[in-house]
Structure 1
């Protein structure tokens, strides 16, 4: 590929001093989220090209027939070079896909890049289909999906069924990310049951488990002084917890959390209620990465130690980050996923 073309493709995803991956840069004519949030389904499962940044982000905690734990990721990102429209090769929309499988001893990851406007990647509804090249997340609707992806040393083919309703984070889907008021639209489907086949170097593995899909879009979700985030999705015996802390360049944090009951009722928690502190670090690709944490949400009696299934879950992609399954112990037990960005 021509080097200049490659740089054009990768530029929007490159790490920036103004927030991780440039997410703290100005909106530059793009639309911005407003409160109160108003959603339209199934239309809001589709892209929002007048916003700069968007993703369809699925993670899954799995076990095989012998009880061995695995993790799975399927992510489709969309970014826009400009707020102006265009067709075909003149489209300003760019796409990136990440797929990964994590075992207790291995972490397999691969990436796809695509231009918008030429059919190489996109999202449509009725029926739902999200794709980049031959990877797909599709089905008759958002509640019944098949998901496939492959890389040089792995593949998977999974079926998902939603056993609960979509939930909204923050103020009914308006998720504030900083004291300055930066925000995104943010909803999740955390109630998927998932089953299928992992294809790994040692052969096929039948797995079952639960999956969590995040939908988020914005044009400036971070403040200029925010350098990265630590995001947790936890599936516990009596509910689910989404919590994140956004690291700020003065050493402080901005936090947010959502408690989700098993029947889908949500309680949003403001800055300061959710706490996450590293317990121990691992050397990961020459970086010191926190791979064991204490997580607390005192108002719910949550006091957890969480640790990485595989500390070496580094995503060596255009924008490198850590993403992998976690095991939960303490006041509650369960499993979850942890994403950590902005670690140099």
Structure 2
């Protein structure tokens, strides 16, 4: 998602009980510390862990995979002592993009933390809702999902160092400095494991991207949604770029970062990032039109983004109350494939009301 996936939670998690609890601000100049900051930050309003990637099975069959866990701290009265008080809420979205299937395979979960149903641990990545989980291992992560129409058990091994987004992890989301998050990525995760589709188990391998972000602030009132890409470049580099859209469709804010194959990182200012729609797709279920093919300019780099398949709409109304497009894409520079990753499009179904 910039990964604004956390805002999907904010849109459906209003104040549940009036109280005086305050959320800590995101401060410019704060230093992220690892491994501590791989874990949950329960005092902040919202947080998410997000992995997307491309998988390949025997015979060259290509799949896209997504697993996202969201944590939300609703504002409740501090003196409520009931063990059933919803002090932490967890949500999860999982999906497989399979061109052989009739649309995106996806599922969702929601639960309050504790009670043996869900958890988000501090100090390390360990988030789970019942039998769905994402856990940090010695050299990466492991994910397990058992959904209605599919399941997977995947391992993600880190081959590169953490990529701090924005200003050393302080990522602006608007002209007001308070509209910011702490945000880092881990590109080029090596993926191995198995996927079950239609009762058939497939051994898979591939490459993925992880984002982890937490914040206490919401988007500006003028913002209605965003476009975001995370691309593992073929030369070993990585590109994240996003734009926040205003009500008239123009860019309200933008940013991103490019890590070159040599490891050097360049961060982009709002005026250096542009998303230009090339082709649109209309959902037969919601009637929503999405720009599923776009030209992205980030500084001197220009990429044309094409989806693995057009129908990658995820209906999450049963958990976070929104519908968005989250899809596996190829990135081309001229006639050459320059990388693969994911494109996220939110606020096209309905403007986010935060």
TM-score over 0.5 (shorter chain): yes
Once residues 67 and 104 of structure 1 are traced to their aligned partners in structure 2, the CA distance between those partners, rounded to angstroms, is 12
| Equivalent position of 2:261 in the other structure | 262
| Equivalent position of 1:280 in the other structure | 279
Contact 2:230–2:241 (8 Å) recurs in 1: yes
Q: CA deviation at 1:217?
A: 0.7
Change beyond 3 A, Cα 1:91–1:39: same
What's the secondary structure of 1:90's corresponding residue?
coil
Which residue of 328, 335, 340 corresponds with 2:345?
340
Match runs of 1:1-344 below 5 Å: 13=9, 15=11, 29-82=22-75, 88-106=83-101, 107-124=104-121, 128-141=125-138, 143-181=139-177, 182-201=179-198, 203-238=200-235, 239-253=237-251, 254-284=253-283, 285=285, 286-299=287-300, 302-318=301-317, 319-331=322-334, 333-344=338-349
What's the secondary structure of 1:272's corresponding residue?
helix
Contact 1:55–1:217 (8 Å) recurs in 2: yes
Once residues 260 and 327 of structure 1 are traced to their aligned partners in structure 2, the CA distance between those partners, rounded to angstroms, is 18
Change beyond 3 A, Cα 1:146–1:246: same
Once residues 137 and 14 of structure 1 are traced to their aligned partners in structure 2, the CA distance between those partners, rounded to angstroms, is 22
Query: Displaced runs of 4+ in structure 1, greater than 6 A?
Result: none
Change beyond 3 A, Cα 1:269–1:126: closer
Deviations 1:225-267 (A, max 9, x none): 1011111011112311000010012432111010012354321
Contact 1:126–1:140 (8 Å) recurs in 2: no
Q: CA deviation at 1:87?
A: 6.9
Which structure 1 segments of 5+ residues have no match?
1-11
Q: CA deviation at 1:221?
A: 4.0
Once residues 111 and 337 of structure 1 are traced to their aligned partners in structure 2, the CA distance between those partners, rounded to angstroms, is 19
Q: What is the aligned residue count?
A: 323
Contact 2:51–2:66 (8 Å) recurs in 1: yes
Contact 1:64–1:207 (8 Å) recurs in 2: yes
Deviations 1:157-188 (A, max 9, x none): 11111011111000000000112221110001
Q: CA deviation at 1:208?
A: 1.0
Change beyond 3 A, Cα 1:219–1:205: same
- Normalised to the residue count of structure 1, the TM-score between the two structures is 0.87
Once residues 145 and 108 of structure 2 are traced to their aligned partners in structure 1, the CA distance between those partners, rounded to angstroms, is 10
Aligned-pair Cα RMSD in Å: 2.3
Once residues 299 and 84 of structure 2 are traced to their aligned partners in structure 1, the CA distance between those partners, rounded to angstroms, is 51
Deviations 1:57-82 (A, max 9, x none): 11111122222221101110011111
